[in-house]
Structure 1
Amino acid sequence: MSYALRPATLADAPAVTALLNAIDVLEIGRPETDLHTIEAEFKHPETDLARDSWLALDGETLVAYGLLWDESEGERIDIDHYVLPEHQAAGVLLLDVMEARALEKARANGAARAVVHLHLNVKPTLDLALLRDRGWDTVRRYHVLRRALDPAADRAPEIPAGVRLRPCADEADRERVHALYQATFADHFDFQPRAYAQWLQDIDGAGLDWSLVWIAETDAAGDAGFLMARDDREAMGWIRSIGVTREARGQGLAGLLLRHAFAVFAARGRDTVGLGVDTSNSTGAPRLYARHGMSVHYAVDTWEAVLSRP
């Protein structure tokens, strides 16, 4: 079977969303990809659709999709790769062109090699033997967690003395959240430092409801933690990230922020909330989420390939 490859355009976002939702159903049992998420990726100022996106078509039918991006400006390159299970040959075509482009990008950054990462469901539609045969291997596992919400039970938590929560109300608060994010995630696996303007693009700041971003402040430490949530995903309310500075950990701030987010989502009529977590997180986040009633929805592995072909 022969496939046609071409770059994606913004007009392809609905077809890509439909493909990813078809793959969601196969991998996790339900569609969880939103059109606005794909459109935000396509519109990101650092996304070069003409050179760093690929559609594989069987006639007029989209059967595989890939996107490459470079946040490190060094050797680290990220790719997304999706393929319908009956079209593995199209998946191989995408891997061929994406690996070549990743190495080209890394070398343009001045690196001698490309260290490429790809996130895949632990039981993906891509045949994992194809990756292993090319030298890819797993380096990390993440869990997507979820929790049912009950407006009667998930009420606003009591704020301890000496602690304050405030919504992200202005540009100064946004800059503060960025600083807290950079500080609290700096030691996390695969963290890539990003300047304020770049970070705003990464989180789709223009489309973010900033009233769902909160800063935790204490008398002793000042601004010491944050939580970023989104309510624009059809499947569930979503906690994008939560962080507490090293000096303020162990004081219950993360749990307080989490319970506050649960209460806000429940009051908005949401019945489920979710988030993603590194299972090897050194701050104890998986245990925190388990204590607050969150359980595994599905698991994702980070696959890595080190490319240095002549």
Structure 2
Amino acid sequence: MSNPLRPAALSDAPAITALLNAVDEIEIGRPETDLHTVEADLKHPGTDLERDSWLAFDGDRLVVYGLLWDESEGERIDIDHYVLPDHQQAGMRVLDAMEARALEKARDNGAQRAVVHLHLNVRPTLDTGLIEARGWQVVRRYHVLRRPVDPAADLAPQAPAGVRIRACASEADQARVHELYQASFARHFDFQPRDYPSWLHDIDAEQLDWSLVWIVGVDDLGDVGFLLARGDREAMGWIRSIGVLPEARGRGLGGLLLRHAFAAFAAKGRDMVGLGVDTANATGAPELYARHGMTLHYAVDTWETVLG
């Protein structure tokens, strides 16, 4: 008889991290999940672990993990789902529970339906035929890109006349990055507006090295862009987000920020830098990253289902 599902607790973070790294090894060839990332997810303010998380075991071994959160406060619900290949039945039991909870959550928000998104590697451990039979379909693809960096080759770029880059050195600067983030991503696919406290949680601000966050400004418009990077991922330096306001695009500011981040990571002794990009991004981001030597590490699909 199958073991019953149970909700996750923060104390389960090491076991969940081990499961996600086992999935990483199958999907991308190496473990790339850090404990602090899992802990931050479990602390998500939009998640009630008792009702919004699920664990399935084979004996004492964790084989499925699911987490649900709600940033839209409407019909859009997000889920994570990780399953070991030989435990698809348990994976579907968790997905049953997640779909039911997603619809309940959306209706609690006053919506008539739930539009649920799930991100999966393009060659996932989950049998996608099982979710296609349930009405799930791919609606977007993202690429995780990476680039080697070297302190001798990746030197800090010289900003052109009328352009300045400053480190995020104060709480006022942090709040400004939040404003720039919201404005520069407002028209992006699946963007969910976030107030300042919620955004601080999203970026795991307590663990963030703010010296790896920069603001770019120009004489005629003031602050117009930012780059937010993380140095606490073991696998590589990570650029979490880079954005430039629409009115300042086309001036080379994104590339300037990117080269600045490469130089900073190289100076800190990192040998690889990565980021994620929407392949259908209309701002030219995929081309920008390609011009700066970033190549494909792996691809992720956004799957969607509509319940109700």
Q: TM-score surpassing 0.5?
A: yes
Query: In the alignment, which residue of structure 1 is the partner of 2:221?
Result: 221
* Worse-superposed segment, 2-11 or 286-295: 2-11
Inter-partner Cα distance in structure 2 for 1:103 and 1:34: 30
Q: Alignment partner of 2:5: what SS?
A: strand
State the match for 1:148 in structure 2: 148
Aligned partner of 1:194 in structure 2 is 194
Aligned to 1:110: 110
Does the 8 Å contact 1:146/1:275 carry over to 2? yes
The equivalent of 1:165 in structure 2 is 165
Residues 4, 59 of structure 1: 8 Å contact kept: no
Alignment match, 2:130: 130
2:291 counterpart residue number? 291
| C-alpha contact (below 8 Å) 1:44/1:201 kept by paired residues | yes
Cα displacement (A) at 1:47: 2.2
Deviations for 1:259-302, whole angstroms, at most 9, x for unmatched residues?
00000000000000000000000000000000000000000000
The within-5 A match list for 1:1-310 is 2-308=2-308
| Cα root mean square deviation, aligned | 0.7
Q: Secondary structure at the match of 1:86?
A: helix
CA distance in 1, matches of 2:272, 2:140: 26
Is residue 84–residue 126 contact of structure 2 (8 Å, CA) maintained in 1?
A: yes
How far apart, in 1, do the equivalents of 2:175 and 2:250 lie?
Answer: 25
The structure 1 segments of at least 4 consecutive aligned residues displaced by more than 4 Å after TM superposition are none
Q: Secondary structure at the match of 1:4?
A: coil
Per-residue deviation, residues 125-178 of structure 1 (Å, max 9, x unmatched): 000001100000000000000001111100000111111100111111111101
**2:95 partner SS:** helix
In 1, Cα distance between equivalents of 2:73 and 2:45: 15
1:27–1:125: 8 Å Cα contact kept in structure 2? Answer: yes
Structure 1 gaps, min length 5: none
Question: Deviation at 1:205?
Answer: 1.1
User: Is the 2:9–2:49 Cα contact (8 Å) retained in structure 1?
Assistant: yes
CA distance in 1, matches of 2:4, 2:151: 50
CA distance in 2, matches of 1:240, 1:305: 26
Mapped partners of 2:299, 2:119: distance in 1: 10
Equivalent AA in structure 1 for residue 48 of structure 2:
D
Question: How far off its partner does 1:3 sit?
Answer: 3.0
8 Å Cα contact 1:74-1:106 kept in structure 2 = yes
Question: Take 1:191 and 1:43, find their aligned partners in 2: how far apart are those partners?
Answer: 21
Contact 2:213 2:229 in 1 (8 A): yes
- What displacement does 1:59 show? 1.3
Cα distance in 2, alignment partners of residues 307 and 3 from structure 1: 27
Query: What whole-Å deviation, never above 9, does each CA across 1:101-123 have from its counterpart, x for those lacking one?
Result: 00000000000000000000000
